[in-house]
Structure 1
């Protein structure tokens, strides 16, 4: 076969493999374009960029050339850079003309306003389901798509309620208990507020001469534990920008465990999240500073793992492999942004939660 036959089980694998093979054959002639194709494609969407216009235009031209040689014609270009849009060949611009006029692009479930360069969320909530079963609840609570995980203080609440459903032994098609149904319906109504939320797309990382640090925060409650990462960048002009990079939450296990152990799990979660962030930043390493609030967890992480029991030893060793012991520091609970993610917030509270969106005030100071 000389074409990918869509509909067969191997179609998605073959399409991506063909894309990657085309990039690998260009190594040596178009090294930068090849690395962009291998790193910045998600299925058939390319999301990439550069800190200067000239390099961005070269990337756009070379990526098009490389993939064109393999039969992949890139279409529907969108950029926050008018110079790049003007330099795209006419054939491609005609295909993507409606994007340039609308200034809003759907990128992996998010809406990107290319003119003002901010992201918003697509909230597609229909009318509430008359009979809320466990199956319907799971489907309904998954409607809000948050690929960068910026809304975890809200999404963790739906996870906690779903765990309560498991505890109540409700079957998949049985109605959920009224207290949970009432709380979810109220929470669900507020989720529509996120369609008005505007987040700066650029984190500040990547500018020439800029210095970036990654700050990890971890915390746990009796119901969940959470980790959140901020990128703190000192720009060449001396301005300090702090951006929420990503977060991750997990519900506490059904088997009751102690709070210090959950706090250690939160620190381990923060380390794994840091590895994911570092892997997504090309050819760069950034200083990391980690901030849990319990002193017990801090003592575990700063000592050698051989001193502790098996549960603690395994997680300390796993965490220290990514974030070394000297990077862990104490922070007060009231200024720890991971605290609100471990306890949960309503959408209305999250919209106005300065600590979550900006991090502690000391990150913005010198």
Structure 2
């Protein structure tokens, strides 16, 4: 028997495995799209899901919560780009900054997978703070490499900078 110790830092692959295992074991009587969401739309502890309309989303959230609660998981920090969906979620389970009066104020900007999501406009944004680096090959490479782009949206622009460095 092999024993794995990870200390106080959780291993992302173990988190993903346990979430998927919970969905597989408890899928009886559950909508297949909810189980599929656990399989394909979670990255460690973040779930990113697009649904066709507000009604579907309002029905979907309790089903996903119920499925994962059967394994001891409590989903919190909910965010949506639709006010109606957020109003269906208890205030204490919404993301920070969403305790505002939803009918009068704009939604905040959230972080998802290291990228900023402007919820109100439903667009991804990048906040890049370039530090003063010398205008040398090493300094430019350091600036280009510091841009975190896990989804690859900024790749066409980063590629141009890398091409300049190669030349």
TM-score, normalised on structure 2?
A: 0.78
- Of Structure 1 and Structure 2, the greater strand share is in 1
What CA deviation, in whole Å up to 9, does each residue of 1:133-170 have, x standing for no partner? 63x54332122233343333421122223434xxxxxx
Task: Label 1:120 to 1:90 Cα distance change in 2 as closer, same or farther (>3 A).
Answer: closer
Q: 1:148 to 1:7 in 2, by over 3 A?
A: closer
SS of residue paired to 1:112: strand
Write the deviation string for residues 75-131 of structure 1: whole angstroms up to 9, x where unpaired.
1111011111111134313xx2414545211112322222222222121222x2247
Which residue of structure 2 aligns with residue 6 of structure 1?
8
SS in 1 for 2:117: strand
Larger radius of gyration: 1
- The root-mean-square deviation of aligned C-alpha atoms, in Å, is 2.5
Q: Which runs of at least 4 in structure 1 moved beyond 6 Å after TM superposition?
A: none
Q: 1:156 to 1:36 in 2, by over 3 A?
A: same
Map 1:243-282; keep pairs closer than 5 Å.
none
CA–CA separation in structure 1 for the residues paired with 2:19 and 2:165: 39
Residues 1:113 and 2:118 are matched in the alignment: yes
Gaps of 5+ in 1: 165-366
**2:34·2:63 contact (CA, 8 Å) conserved in 1?**
yes
Aligned: 1:56 with 2:57:
yes
Which has the larger share of helix? 1
TM-score (norm 1): 0.39
Cα separation, 1, equivalents of 2:34 and 2:155: 34
Cα 1:146–1:6 change in 2 (3 A) is same
CA contact (8 A) 2:113 2:150 kept: yes
CA distance in 2, matches of 1:74, 1:41: 12
CA spacing shift, 1:91–1:32, aligned 2, 3 Å:
same
Q: Distance in 1 between matches of 2:145 and 2:153?
A: 15
Residue by residue over 1:173-228, the C-alpha shift from the partner in whole angstroms, topping out at 9 and shown as x without a partner, is: xxxxxxxxxxxxxxxxxxxxxxxxxxxxxxxxxxxxxxxxxxxxxxxxxxxxxxxx
Q: Distance in 2 between matches of 1:140 and 1:26?
A: 47
Q: Which structure 2 residue ranges, 5 or more long, are not aligned? A: 101-106
**1:76-87 matched pairs, under 5 angstroms:** 76-87=77-88
Q: Determine if the alignment matches structure 1 residue 129 to structure 2 residue 129.
A: no
- Residue 36 (structure 1) shift: 0.6
Q: Which has the bigger relative contact order, CA under 8 A and spacing at least 6? A: 1
